[in-house]
């Protein structure tokens, strides 16, 4: 795998996470809430 392919596949995603990590945190929080609710029920 060349450097350009690696950057094309994962670089943009990493850049988005670095620029705006809030959506990722919201998704993780939502998943955590769902897991806790299912576990409690």
Distance CA 38, CA 25 (A): 20
Which residue intervals of the chain are DSSP H helices? 3-6, 12-19, 22-40
Q: Are 24 and 17 in contact (CB under 8 A)?
A: yes
Q: Which two tokens stand for residue 22?
A: 């809030």
pLDDT digits (tens, 9 = 90+) for 1-41: 455 545 555 566 667 656 777 888 899 999 999 999 999 98
Q: Which two tokens stand for residue 27?
A: 């998704």
pTM of the model: 0.48
Distance CA 39, CA 12 (A): 35
């Amino acid at each position: 795998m060349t450097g350009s392919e690696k950057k094309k596949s994962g670089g943009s995603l990493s850049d988005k996470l670095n620029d705006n990590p809030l959506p990722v945190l919201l998704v993780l929080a939502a998943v955590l809430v769902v897991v806790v609710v299912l576990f409690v029920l």
